[in-house]
Amino acid sequence: MTARPRIELATAAYLRRLNVPSRTSEEEMGAADAREFNRKALVAEFGPQPVVGAMADHLAGGVPVRVFRPAGDAGAGPVVLYIHGGGWTVGDLDSHAGVSRALCALAGVTVVAVDYRLAPEHRYPAAVEDCEAALEWLAAHADDLGVDPRAIAVVGDSSGGNLAAVIAQRATAAGVRLRCQVLVYPPVDSRSRSKSFETMATGYGLEAAEMLWYWSNYLGEAPKADDPGHSPLAAHDLHGLPPALILTAELDPLRDEAEEYGAALVAADVPVSMRRFAGTIHGFFRMPGTIPLGRVALESAAAFLHSRLSVTGPLRSWDDLSFEVVI
């Protein structure tokens, strides 16, 4: 008999509130209602958000983006393209603004968050196309934005991590050199065949059945399993990709496939740092106000970005930041 994994205290408290008989899954809600629920829930779970220097909305080749600038921004510094999670189905610039603000304030970098089109109304490859358009716009308008086009990183969590991995592959193939990539518990294999997908299938926040629903929304009924455009693990050649930080959660159905992707990058001589957070679940990265390990993960991502992007300003800790309540 396999022993149940140990759950850290804040995660256990969150799961007790979540795992009640009356819980309605996002699949049961349907995409439209799930989006509104998700936006409110994620803002609440993040808690007070870090104060940044400035925020402004733009259109990047028709794709909405939000630019977050650090306090005291002197211009011409590094920039991060941030791609939010939500199973390609939910999430927007507001639901994940806390993550964008945190990376901006901690690492001292400009962050450009992408509001890509969502499934099932807009299936693959719409989200990929939007993220590529945002990256192209960012590079083309670097002078206007006051950022360095030679110092661009891509960051994504969950389905955003999937898109970040895809964008890193496609950019490299096109001769665009990104400084680094940060992939936070990304789904990288549409076949969902890993051991953790079985052992962590239910009771740990993200349900395996819910993840399959997300994949179905994104790809439709008959996806091509070996297409690296949606399943980065299927890529035949990973050589030359930018250095990667991969963060995973022990109690996550997606844990093993994300770590397998990290191992594949290592085998292709890509510099990789991997960190598994024990006792916690998928989503903790965007929940620092609910699961304090999220603060540690955000600090880890910021430290990696600060180093790889050669940021000249100071790297800050969570305790260094100022916060404001966002409703």
Task: Give mean pLDDT, residues 249-263.
Answer: 99
Residue 284: both structure tokens together: 């903790």
Position of tokens 């260094």? 320
Residue 160: both structure tokens together: 């955003």
Task: Give mean pLDDT, residues 63-69.
Answer: 98
Is 31 part of any domain? Answer: yes
- Give the rounded percent of residues in the chain with a pLDDT score beyond 70: 99
- E strands, 115-146, are none
Measured CA to CA in angstroms, residue 314 lies from 17, 67, 278, 285, 306 at distances of: 38, 20, 29, 22, 9
Q: Is the pLDDT of residue 74 over 70?
A: yes
pLDDT band, very low/low/confident/very high, at 50 (cuts 50, 70, 90)? very high
Please give the single-letter amino acid code of residue 228. P
pLDDT band, very low/low/confident/very high, at 277 (cuts 50, 70, 90)? very high
Is 325 part of any domain? Answer: no
Task: Give mean pLDDT, residues 21-36.
Answer: 90
Is 319 part of any domain? Answer: no
- pLDDT for 2 equals 63
Provide the phi-psi class of 309: left if phi over 0, else alpha when psi is between -120 and 50, else beta. alpha
* Model pTM above 0.95: yes
Catalytic residues: 158, 252, 282
Domain count, the chain: 1
Is 203 part of any domain? Answer: yes
Q: pLDDT tens across 211-228, in order?
A: 999 999 999 976 677 899
Q: Is the pLDDT of residue 282 over 90?
A: yes
Q: Is the pLDDT of residue 275 over 90?
A: yes
pLDDT band, very low/low/confident/very high, at 23 (cuts 50, 70, 90)? confident
Rounded CA separation 55/212 (Å): 35
- pLDDT for 47 equals 98
Domain span including residue 48: 9-309
Is 174 part of any domain? Answer: yes
Task: Give mean pLDDT, residues 71-89.
Answer: 93
Task: Give mean pLDDT, residues 276-280.
Answer: 99
Residue 112: both structure tokens together: 């450009």
Is 184 part of any domain? Answer: yes
H helix count then E strand count, the chain: 11, 10
Q: Is the pLDDT of residue 34 over 60?
A: yes
**CATH code, domain carrying 235:** 3.40.50.1820
Is 302 part of any domain? Answer: yes
Q: Is the pLDDT of residue 1 over 70?
A: no
Provide the phi-psi class of 240: left if phi over 0, else alpha when psi is between -120 and 50, else beta. left
Q: pLDDT tens across 144-162, in order?
A: 999 999 999 999 999 999 9
Is 318 part of any domain? Answer: no
SS3 of residue 138 by DSSP: helix
